Every structure is written in C-alpha cells, then in structure tokens.
Amino acid sequence: MERLAVPAPAGPRVVRLVDRLLAAGTAVAVLAGTARLGGRLDVAGALPLALWLSLLLLARCRWPLAVLLLSVQAVVVFRTSGLTDVGWVWPVSAAYAALAADDRPGRPGLPWAAGVGLAELAFAATWEMTAGGLTPREVIGSLGAEALWLTVLLAAATAYRNRLRWRAERDERLLRAVRERDLEAGRRIAEARLEIARELHDVVGHTLTVVGIQLRVAAEALDDSPQEARAALTTAQQVRTEAVRDLRALVHVLRAPGETPEGPAAGAPEVAALVDRMRSAELDIRLETSGDLAAVAAPLSLAVHRIVQEALTNTVRHAGASRADVSVRCGHGRVEVSVTDDGRNPAKTSGAPGHGVRGMDERVRALGGDFSAGPRGGGDGWVVRAAIPVPGFRP
C-alpha cells in the first residue's frame, strides 16, 4: 500500500552538530566584529567573552532562557568593567535567536527574548549617558543600529518558528490522512471479504443443493424413465457450469482487480430459471413476478437473485417442505421479495440463524433495505421477506 512520506524530526546528533556550529560561529563573529568596529582584541577581554558566549550556546536547546540571561550578563559585565568597548546586542545574537525560535509548549520564547532585549538596550542607553558621558542623540546613534538588528533578528526567528509550526501541522495532517486512508482501506477490505464470503456461500451451497436434487431424480428415474434421468443430469451439468463461471469471476476479480471479468449469470430476470432448476417431485415451487425486473440496477438485481437462491436452498436442505411460493415485485420505488414454504421451522432444529440468513440480511441492509426471516403465522412454515429501494426511482 502506498504511504505518504512524513519528514522525521532532527535527531540528537544533528542537534549537537548545530550547537557546535553556532558556538564556533559565535566565537568567530565576536572576535571579527570587535576588530571590524575598531574594538580592542585583548586576551583578557574580547577573547574570553567570545569563548564564554560560545560555550553557553552548547546548552541552548535545554535552557535557552538561562543561556540568554547569562550571555547578556556577560556582555554587561565585560562592557561596564572596560574589558571590551564595542557591542551590546549583536554578540548575543545566537542566544536571542535560539530563545525567540523556541517552539516547545509552555515556553513563550519570543516575549522573553523581546523583554530581555529591551531591558539590555535600556541599560546600555543609561550606562552610555552616565558612565560614557554621551548625549541622548549620540546614544540613539550608537544604539539605533543594535536596536534595528535586534528587531530583524527577532522577526527572522519568529518567521522560522512559524515555519516549524506550519511544518508540524502539515506533518500532523499527513499522518492523519495516512491513518484515515488505512482505516478506509481496512474497511473496504473487510467489506470485500464479507462480499466474497457471501458469494462463495451462495454459489457453492446452491450448486451442491441443486446438483443433489437432480442426481436424486436421475437415480430414481434411471430404470423407469431414462429420458427424465438424462434431463436431470443435463440440468445438474448446467448448474455446475454456471457455478464454475461464477467462481472464475470471483477469482478473476481477486487476481486482476480493475479488469472486467466475465459476468455471472445471476440477476432478477434469471429467477425463473433458478426456480425451474430447483423444482422437483418433492418440492413444488410457484413463482409470481410483476414489474420490469430487467430494468433493476445490477447490484440490486444480484441481491434479489441471491436472496431467492439462498432461501430456496435452505428450504430444500432444512425445511422438508412440499411447496414453496416465490414472489418478486418491482414497483413503487422498491423491489419486494418473498419466499414462503410449508416445511419445518429451521429455528427449532438449528437454533441460531446460519451464514445464509446473515448473508441475506447483510446484502439487503447494505442496499438500504429491510429484511426479515421467521416462522409463518398459523402453523408450520418459514417466510423470508426483503424490501429494497430502487435507486433513482421517480414516481
């Protein structure tokens, strides 16, 4: 079965590699940025700051807020102590981005990152005016670029976080689609298995019953009426041929789905031939039909044929009846099927209904109809009734 490909989350090794790359990049960026802006590259200043900020990033996945706070504290300490003389926000860029992009439940990373950034800029502005002796205009000129950089950084981290959320939602939808498709496929397979089981039961059971009747007739008439025996054997051979064709059609569907198999000779118009095959000296079967049975849709027509077939098979096997009445009526937006016999009540001998009764009920219910099977009122006998709506009927 074809499945949708869902991206797997990054493994621990990938995360560790990213942490190391960020740490190395931060160390290089702090030193390069200090040199580019004309700051001092001291062994006691920029170098230990770069090393400390890079080492903190190795823990950014587990404690992103703590990493940012410690990084900002380090920058503040180094700047206020005179160990470095450039940079407030940009040396801590990776820590800000890691916290703002944190998308785990219960961790509002973006508000914390924005709050810490504003607090750092406010402290920097105050310190520059008091300790550095800069005017407000000079402070704005000095810190404006860093404030703009912080805004761009948080916006980029937010966009990345939203992209992660979108991917997570997309993956969840894909997984849900896979599960729903698997459930639907399982349901269809179960329905197909049930339909095949019903078809096999009906075809094999009916064939064995009719062949048994005709063989018994042939055995009884072999000496006194060879022609009658020959006719019974011919009927048995015809039933056997039709059963083989039905079984081949089922096997063809199983082996080559999508191709058009040879259709089985089973439908409402063939009910008369079915009754003729099952009629015998011990069982008189009378058929009454009304309406245009040839116009009935194929699934419904097959269901009518199988219901009559299974009901008469049960009559021959279990009821010991001498007469059966079959009625098939098409009209008023539905097809009504009734099979009544004067034999024994099957429930008295077999207890629970067998596969045949369940199969008839399942066929009718699947087509939206009503089905019942039970003792006939007023004495012995059994009656099977089904009423199935005709799709597209217009009065």
Q: Which of the residue ranges 92-101, 129-138, 152-161, 317-326 would you say has the lowest mean pLDDT?
A: 129-138
Tell me the C-alpha distance between 53 and 71, whole Å: 6
Please name the residues in contact with 125: beta carbons below 8 A apart, sequence gap of 6 or more. Answer: 139, 143
Q: Which of the residue ranges 9-23, 59-73, 123-137 would you say has the lowest mean pLDDT?
A: 9-23
pLDDT band, very low/low/confident/very high, at 256 (cuts 50, 70, 90): very low
pLDDT band, very low/low/confident/very high, at 261 (cuts 50, 70, 90): very low
Q: At residue 332, does pLDDT exceed 60?
A: yes
Share of the chain above pLDDT 70, in %: 77
Q: Which of the residue ranges 117-131, 235-249, 271-285, 373-387 would you say has the lowest mean pLDDT?
A: 235-249
Question: What are the φ and ψ backbone dihedral angles of 139, each rounded to 5 degrees?
Answer: -65, -40
Span 293-302, average pLDDT:
80
Q: Which of the residue ranges 28-37, 256-265, 279-288 would you say has the lowest mean pLDDT?
A: 256-265
Q: Which of the residue ranges 11-15, 47-51, 285-289, 359-363 would you say has the lowest mean pLDDT?
A: 11-15
- 383-393, pLDDT tens digit by residue? 999 999 887 54
pLDDT of residue 338: 94
Cα 324 to Cα 42, 209, 312, distances in angstroms: 110, 16, 8
Q: At residue 197, does pLDDT exceed 70?
A: no
Of residues 312 and 30, more confidently modeled: 312
- 36-64, pLDDT tens digit by residue? 777 777 777 788 888 888 888 888 778 88
Q: Which of the residue ranges 23-27, 91-95, 240-244, 301-305 would you say has the lowest mean pLDDT?
A: 240-244
| Domain limits, the chain | 12-133, 194-389
Mean pLDDT score across all residues of the chain: 78
pLDDT of residue 90: 82
Q: At residue 89, does pLDDT exceed 50?
A: yes
Q: At residue 170, does pLDDT exceed 80?
A: yes
Burial class for 272, CB neighbours closer than 10 Å (0-12, 13-18, 19+): middle
Span 92-117, average pLDDT:
81
Q: At residue 351, does pLDDT exceed 60?
A: no
Of residues 330 and 107, more confidently modeled: 330
CB atoms within 10 A of CB 360: 27
Span 357-380, average pLDDT:
84
Q: At residue 257, does pLDDT exceed 60?
A: no
Alpha helices by DSSP H, the chain: 12-36, 46-56, 64-80, 93-100, 109-130, 136-221, 226-255, 271-278, 298-314, 346-350, 355-366
pLDDT of residue 192: 66
For domain 194-389, the CATH superfamily is: Histidine kinase-like ATPase, C-terminal domain (3.30.565.10)
pLDDT of residue 273: 87
Q: Please give the full DSSP string across 279-328, using - where no structure is assigned.
A: --SS-EEEEEEES-GGGS-HHHHHHHHHHHHHHHHHIIIII--SEEEEEE
- 106-160, pLDDT tens digit by residue? 667 788 888 888 888 888 888 888 887 778 888 887 788 888 888 898 888 888 8
Q: Are 108 and 167 in contact (CB under 8 A)?
A: no
pLDDT of residue 371: 92
Dihedral sign, Cα of residue 172, residue 177, residue 182, residue 183: positive
Share of the chain above pLDDT 90, in %: 7
